[in-house]
Amino acid sequence: TDDTGNVVWQAETDIKRQVVSEEVSEQIRAMMENNVGHTGTSNDLDYHGCASAYVAGYRIGGKSGTGEQLDWKGAYKYRPDGDYRKAISFAAILPADDPEILVLVMMDDPRWIIDSASQIVAPVTGNIISQIAPYLGIERDSSYDSNGSVEVPNAIGTRWTSAQVK
């Protein structure tokens, strides 16, 4: 689009074949949405591995990835500390039930104590989505909002072994 919002050019779609069935696609999207963590059945968040990509009001599906890097000879690349060099990524779709947007965040060899994609690049992805979804006019769904509170049992004065059960 140009500065005034007029469409200047639109790519044509040339569909060659359907790679997966609609049923399989629906199952994959549901698993990706479950991975980000909001079930959509209540105002509570169901935290999973990539809950840090969750943005209140949006159905987001996502998948993290971590891979060891190889050099041009096919041997593992190592850091000076002896650990493998890694590449991490997080791919998110929005809305999860009928994707319009794909966001992919990748990082080459993170040098933190934790090098998990779900803890490093998933929150970055959530931040990007929180900025671009309103800009692109993707409607929020209040049934996917978090109420921001969680009921925690009172375990003051309780031994830690008993507190775990509460």
Rounded distance between C-alpha atoms, residue 140 and residue 58, angstroms: 6
Asked whether the beta carbons of 62 and 37 are under 8 A apart, the reply is: no
Confidence of residue 38 (pLDDT cuts 50, 70, 90): low
Confidence of residue 61 (pLDDT cuts 50, 70, 90): very high
Rounded distance between C-alpha atoms, residue 126 and residue 145, angstroms: 14
pLDDT of residue 22: 93
CA 94 to chain centre: 10
Question: Does pLDDT of 40 surpass 60?
Answer: no
CATH of the structural domain 22-142, one choice from 3.40.1410.10, 3.30.70.100, 3.40.50.300, 3.40.710.10? 3.40.710.10
DSSP per position, 37-100: T--SSSSS----TTGGG--TT---EEEEEEEE-B-TTSPBPB-TTSSBPEEEEEEEEESTTS--
Q: What is the mean pLDDT of residues 44-63?
A: 76
Residue 8's H or E segment, with its range, is none
| pLDDT, tens digit, 9 for 90 and up, residues 114-155 | 777 777 888 899 999 999 999 989 988 877 776 555 567 777
Q: What percent of the chain lies above the pLDDT cut of 90?
A: 30
Rounded distance between C-alpha atoms, residue 97 and residue 26, angstroms: 8
Q: What is the mean pLDDT of residues 44-52?
A: 60
pLDDT of residue 151: 66
Higher pLDDT, 10 or 157: 10
pLDDT of residue 41: 41
Which of 107, 39, 113, 105 lies closest to 81, judged by CA? 113
Give 65's strand partners. Answer: 89
**Where do the domains of the chain lie?**
22-142
Rounded distance between C-alpha atoms, residue 155 and residue 4, angstroms: 58
